[in-house]
A and B are shown apart, each in its own frame.
Chain A
Amino acid sequence: MRTAPRRSRWTRALTSVVRACALLAAVSVAVFAVSDLLPSDAVAVRAGAGATAEQLDAMRAAAGLDAPAHERYARWLAGLVTGDAGTSLVNDRPVAVLVGARLPATLTLAGAALLVAVPLTAVLAWAAGAAPPRARSWTAGAVAGLAAVPQPAFVAGLVALFSVAWGVLPPVSLVRAGGSPLDEPTLLVLPSLALAVPIAAYGAGLLGGALADARALPHVRDAELRGVPRWRIATRHVAPFLLAPALRVLAVSAGALVAATAVVETMFGYQGLGELLVSAIATRDVPVVQAVALLASAVVVAGTAAADAAAALTEPVTA
């Protein structure tokens, strides 16, 4: 009796891992195809005006851009499998070095943002899903509104408030050459708030519903009628039903956060992976675009897969 459901749980976990790998492969093909469809290419950007057609052809041949798209993709994939992410088409530097140099900055920023986002999500979700009815509808509205504000507008608002009006925080976040973002933590405050608040609002919207549902379950109602203390209801009767949705919301939030770094890093002049992605797209630096996009997708896919797997292993059996 006990082995059957467990095996199916492991099967589900395994399936989600396989699905994640397939998804990543699909993402890499899609990103490659889209980069290839953009007008102009890295050689035209690099050459600038005035280069002759012969010069451009020679540069394309040297960069391997004269091969058909499927061949270039195959070459890129073969390189990646052997641990070589290729070379930038714009400055000839190894992609791994470019990405490696930016990774700590983005990890630091995303980490700081998560530290804000997770407790904020919890508080907002509680307010939207479990607070007294009047407060609940008010916060639900506020949460939905916050989640709907476009990221650039939110950044501009934060800067207008904290930098221009109050003058307490810098409007740009340049990490010092040879330093780490942690040397001057003030630089991280606005970017991480800019990332965390909209995502927490979005996550709270999702989680608030699950919370309300959990509170309406018969055994919770029953416990309330029996006069079980509130903290005991919260920890013993409601929390187990929130674990799986919370993990999924965390995974989705982490993914949204990684995606939002593109806007936030660019607006604050913060040299991380998001900023690298945006400018690599502008210069048609396909190997760099591929690497960053794949890395970001890997975070999202791995997070979701992990949440699914964990949920499969922890979900209480209600039947």
Chain B
Amino acid sequence: MNTPHTIPRPGALLLSAALLAVSACSGADPAAEPDAGGDTLRYAATGSPSTATHDPHGGVGNESDSLRFGLLYDVLAVPGDDGTTELRLAESVEPADEELVEWTITLRSDAVFSDGSPVRAADVLYSLRRIEDKAAENFGRLGMFDFAASEVVDDHTLTVVAHQPYAAAPRALEAVTFVVPEGTEDFSEPVPGSGPFLFAEGDAENAVLERNDDWWGPTPPLERVEISAVADPQARAQAVSSGQADVGSSVAPSSVAAAEEEGLQVVRRPAVTMYPFVMRLDTPPFDDPAVREAFRLAADRDQLVETVFLGYGQVGDDVIAPADPASPETEARERDVDRARELLADAGHGDGLEVVLHTTTSYPGMDTAATLYAEQLEEVGVDVEISMDPPDTYWTDVFAQEPFYTGFYGGIPFTDIATVALLSDAPTNETAWERPEWDAAFAEALSTADAQERDGILSELMLELRDEGGYVVWGTGDGIDLATDDVADLPDGPGFDKLFIDQVRLTG
């Protein structure tokens, strides 16, 4: 056990009781923080403490874990500004053939693990293979690659082979490719890493990291980072306002007003949360395109964004990945009650239509979104029964099963959404979107080397899905982080960008 805790002695307890009494009577100011040292950042991150893990290659459902892994381990690349890929451990990721199937990754030669051994291509390939071995836990995130056919060329070069042409290979290697030493199998404790910080003390749910002075990259301004997993969004906000943390991530929009009043910093990360309504194309009444169009026209998107995200978000127009660089320019989709009624009447539902809309409380506002949308649907003559399902079983029993439910996407790129949920053979094709021509065009896009040309094809695919698919994307919510005013350079990009906090500074 590497926790330094000791069981308190009775004497210590008595002393603490006395201190309790004193602090309770003297009206101690909760904002008076203990001496944190000017170079220590305390970060209260989203995470359920009991699921906190030391294994960077599995599901990693906790942001507190991903954040820690982003400091402890090197990754091949990270998401850069404006959607480009910024290389890290990789010096280059280049196609080795015309077909874009085989890719050569060259590693920088100055990366060293905390146990002193150099980071080699074999370590990278071992880590990539381990991620693919855990596909069941991580949504098959690297499923586009065939790592059995991939190989080590020399100490700092490897080739990875995709199952099919995959022009987006560099992007696929962003963020999740945490590199550990070859052969590491026991992850019940932190393993050696080559990232900007080192594990100093604590545990997975409550960790202290110290700067790694041997890191190859720009010296992190912070000396220490403490990351705590805090499950409740309100507790994360209160941790910052009561001086127990410098940063509280992903707080509820309802915390913002009070935080601004207290002079705290509010960082907004655009298009992070999306609760689209999901309709299955293979189940009546959603097999009728007119019904789907009517359901899209029934949505009052402004009201949904205003109510669910308290305005901290953007109105959507059914484009599934609005933050993606390939996302098409579209006109706003306005509510049209009359047209929606007309479409439903023409489709044979003139005297009413009954549907069940499933939702849950996994993410804040999912239930509100469904309830409000149900009211909006009532106004076009649809009778909606809301089924409020327990979050424990929602993602196994409702998600990708029921014909009409409230879904979730967390700002992942369009190519990932397509691979997971849109291709005919996608593991969770939740809308039953099966179009061979669409699949073929997607494959063509991924074998197109020119980025602009590729984005053009992807953009067309998104448009087709927008108008004919099974999603009502009514809006996206911002990720909202609170911080004390002396924290600078917090990441504010979408998606995985927020996980890389090695260049955050304290100005106070």
Contact = CB atoms under 8 A, between A and B. Distances in A.
A52 B136 contact: yes
Interface string B45-71: 000111111110011010000000000
Contact of B235 (A92, A115, A163, A172): A172
A248 to B, nearest CB: 23
Interface in B8-46: 8, 10, 12-17, 19-20, 23-24, 27-30, 34, 42, 44
Contact of A104 (B7, B200, B230, B396): B7
B14 A115 contact: yes
A59 B1 contact: no
Contacts of A45: 392
Contact of B20 (A171, A189, A282): A189
Nearest to A171: B238
Given A108-B13, A279-B49, A177 B226 contact: yes
B137 A112 contact: no
A49 B428 contact: yes
Contacts of A91: 51-55, 204
Among the interface residues B48, B51, B54, B204, which one has the most CB atoms of the partner chain A within 10 A? B51
A56 B17 CA distance: 50
B50 A280 contact: yes
B443 interface: no
A60 B52 CA distance: 20
Interface stretch (A24-32, A95-103, A139-147): A95-103
A309 interface: no
Given A48-B59, A174-B44, A271-B205, A90 B50 contact: yes
Contact of B13 (A48, A111, A184, A285): A111
A170 B238 contact: yes
B50 A172 contact: no
A184 B54 CA distance: 27
Nearest to B50: A279
Contacts of B396: 40, 44, 49
Contacts of B384: none
Given A58-B136, A283-B48, A104 B8 contact: yes
Contacts, number: 207
Contacts of A176: 34, 42, 206, 226, 228, 244
Nearest to A276: B50
A132 interface: no
B245 interface: yes
Given A51-B136, A91-B54, A100-B1, A39 B23 contact: no
Contact of A178 (B44, B61, B206): B206
Interface residues of B, number: 75
A295 interface: no
A285 B16 CA distance: 34
B30 A104 contact: no
B359 to A, nearest CB: 16
A90 to B, nearest CB: 5
B238 A172 contact: yes
Interface in A270-319: 271, 275-276, 279-280, 282-285, 288
B294 to A, nearest CB: 28
Interface string B230-264: 11100100110011110000000000000000000
A76 B84 CA distance: 50
Contacts of B28: 168-169, 186
29 contacts: A40-B396, A49-B400, A50-B427, A51-B137, A55-B135, A59-B137, A90-B53, A91-B204, A92-B53, A94-B188, A101-B1, A101-B203, A104-B8, A111-B13, A112-B16, A115-B13, A163-B238, A166-B27, A170-B30, A172-B244, A176-B228, A178-B4, A178-B200, A178-B206, A178-B226, A182-B15, A271-B49, A283-B50, A285-B50
Interface of A: 39-40, 44-52, 55-56, 58-59, 87, 90-94, 97-98, 100-101, 103-105, 107-108, 111-112, 115-116, 163, 166-172, 174-178, 180, 182-189, 192, 268-269, 271, 275-276, 279-280, 282-285, 288
Interface pairs A-B: 7 shortest CB-CB: A55-B136, A91-B53, A279-B50, A170-B242, A269-B235, A51-B136, A185-B19
